[in-house]
Copies of this chain bind each other. A is one copy, B any other.
Amino acid sequence: MAATIKDVAALAQVSVGTVSRYLNGYEVSEVNKRKIEEAVRRLDFKLNPVARSLKTSKSMTVAVVVPALANVFSMSIIEGIERHLDQYGYSVIVCDSQSDVQKEKAKLQFVKDKYVDGVVIMPTGSDGTHITEVLGDEIPAVLMDRLVENAKLDAVLVDNVNAVYQAVERLITLGHRRIGMITGPKHIYTARERQEGYRRVFVDYNLPMDESLIRYGDYTEDTGYKLINELMRLECPPTAVFVANYEMTIGAIMAVNEAGIQIPDQLSLIGFDQLELSKIIRPSLSVVVQPMAEIGQKAAEMLYQRMRGSHDNFPQVIRLKANFIDGQSIKKL
- Chain B residues with CB under 8 Å of A59's CB are 50
Chain A positions 62 through 92: 1 when the CB is less than 8 Å from some CB of chain B, otherwise 0: 0100001111101110110011001000011
- Interface centre among A91, A257, A279, A280, by most B CB within 10 Å? A280
**What residue of chain B has the Cβ atom nearest to residue A260's Cβ?**
B282
User: How close is A106's CB to chain B, nearest CB, in angstroms?
Assistant: 10
- Chain B residues with CB under 8 Å of A281's CB are 280-281
User: How close is A85's CB to chain B, nearest CB, in angstroms?
Assistant: 11
**What residue of chain B has the Cβ atom nearest to residue A62's Cβ?**
B93
Within 8 A of B (CB), among A238-297: 250, 253-254, 257, 276-277, 279-282, 284, 292-293
Separation of A279 and B250 alpha carbons in the complex (Å): 8
- Chain B residues with CB under 8 Å of A1's CB are 138
Contact of A254 among B68, B253, B280 (CB under 8 A): B280
Contact in complex: A113, B257 (CB < 8 Å):
no
Q: Is A111 an interface residue (CB 8 A)?
A: yes
**What residue of chain B has the Cβ atom nearest to residue A69's Cβ?**
B79
Q: Is A326 an interface residue (CB 8 A)?
A: no
Separation of A109 and B248 alpha carbons in the complex (Å): 41
Contact in complex: A51, B49 (CB < 8 Å):
no
- Chain B residues with CB under 8 Å of A150's CB are none
Q: Chain A interface (Cβ within 8 Å of chain B)? A: 1, 46-51, 53-54, 59-61, 63, 68-72, 74-76, 78-79, 82-83, 86, 91-96, 110-111, 113-115, 138, 250, 253-254, 257, 276-277, 279-282, 284, 292-293
Contacts A49-B113, A60-B114, A69-B82 given; 16 further ones with Cβ under 8 A?
A: A46-B113, A48-B54, A48-B113, A63-B91, A70-B78, A70-B293, A79-B96, A91-B93, A91-B95, A91-B110, A92-B93, A92-B94, A93-B93, A257-B282, A281-B281, A282-B282
A-B contacts, 30 of them at CB < 8 A, read A48-B54, A49-B113, A49-B114, A50-B53, A50-B54, A50-B114, A61-B114, A63-B91, A70-B72, A70-B75, A70-B76, A70-B78, A70-B292, A70-B293, A72-B72, A86-B96, A91-B93, A91-B95, A92-B93, A92-B94, A250-B276, A250-B279, A250-B280, A253-B280, A254-B279, A254-B280, A257-B282, A257-B284, A277-B280, A281-B281
